[in-house]
Structure 1
């Protein structure tokens, strides 16, 4: 199953129909175009496209967009708190585009270090990936895939926000603060990856 977000609306591609208000049986490329159009141009909050050949469906879907890959981390410290960045009034996790020649792991570590100023990071395992759609200023439609890794911070430095990237704050949050402060002011993708993190903890 693939979950793709666009402006906080959700498109789920699955093998069998999900319990959604709006469902479309996959009948080729046009079905995907209709689904994206409905999400973009109507008030419909979520759509399910379903079909037996899910990998073929996903391949068709990725061909509709320019694919950009990014990597980031869910970082915990010695007290078990998680590291968040604040950008444009929303809480987020540190992440960024993978540069040419970098592995996913190298990109994830570099981006966390750049966005938070923290260096003593230990990369543990791959958590999952998330997908979201957006349109660039030049009109290009982008499918952004972000690969997330579990990381541990073993140093004692104070995190420093990378202000040139629009980050206004970096903060460690315990589970209570995550529930009270982060979840009401973050993105659906981030909620998904935090859920994966806690399920595997």
Structure 2
């Protein structure tokens, strides 16, 4: 089972047919993804299930429905065990960004965290879940596939929000402040914290 977010509403890829309540079900092979996105954005429907009989092919079939943007990001910890957050578009988020040519996804994740926050000396400690969300750019929907990594750093310098990317704040947040920030964040970020 995979979950792809449209805003905070899930599209769940599954092999199970369940009785519809606050969600709708469609066959993955014949779905009109544009209509699904519009329905999730414009109604109070809580989610959508896209069904296919082959669990191994669910994600690959779905990823063929829209152009993919590959990104890397980091859940970075400092020596006080605080998590590095950015504030962009009136929401708390974790730093991430699009992969560049000939760059490994680990290099992308580290570079993006550095560029968006000013933090240096990042070391990847382990991979985290991969997240999927649908966004619209220049009138076209795309699927962002973000590979996340846990990172550690001893950096104690000044934080610099990358304003050209719309980031207005960068902060190290302790466990309590992180939970508060998640109240004004994205569903795919909540699953990482």
Displacement, 1:125?
A: 1.1
Counterpart for residue 190 of structure 2: 191
CA contact (8 A) 1:126 1:149 kept: yes
Q: How big is each residue's C-alpha offset from its partner over 1:24-63, in whole Å with a ceiling of 9 and x where there is no partner?
A: 2536233756544532443212112233313333222211
Q: What is the 5 A alignment of 1:21-60? A: 21-24=22-25, 26=27, 28-30=29-31, 35-60=36-61
CA contact (8 A) 2:28 2:62 kept: no
Q: Distance in 2 between matches of 1:39 and 1:166?
A: 26
In the TM superposition, structure 1's runs of 4+ consecutive aligned residues that sit over 3 Å from their partners are: 17-20, 31-37
Displacement, 1:18?
A: 6.0
Counterpart for residue 155 of structure 2: 155
Provide the aligned length of Structure 1 versus Structure 2: 192
Counterpart for residue 94 of structure 1: 95
Measured on the aligned residues, the alpha-carbon RMSD in Å equals 2.0
Counterpart for residue 174 of structure 1: 174
CA contact (8 A) 1:32 1:61 kept: no
Q: How big is each residue's C-alpha offset from its partner over 1:73-124, in whole Å with a ceiling of 9 and x where there is no partner?
A: 0001111110001112211101100001000000000000001111111111
Counterpart for residue 143 of structure 2: 143
Counterpart for residue 106 of structure 1: 107
More helix by share: 1
Q: Which runs of 5+ in 1 are unaligned?
A: 195-201
TM-score normalised by L of structure 2: 0.90
Q: Which runs of 5+ in 2 are unaligned?
A: none
TM-score normalised by L of structure 1: 0.87
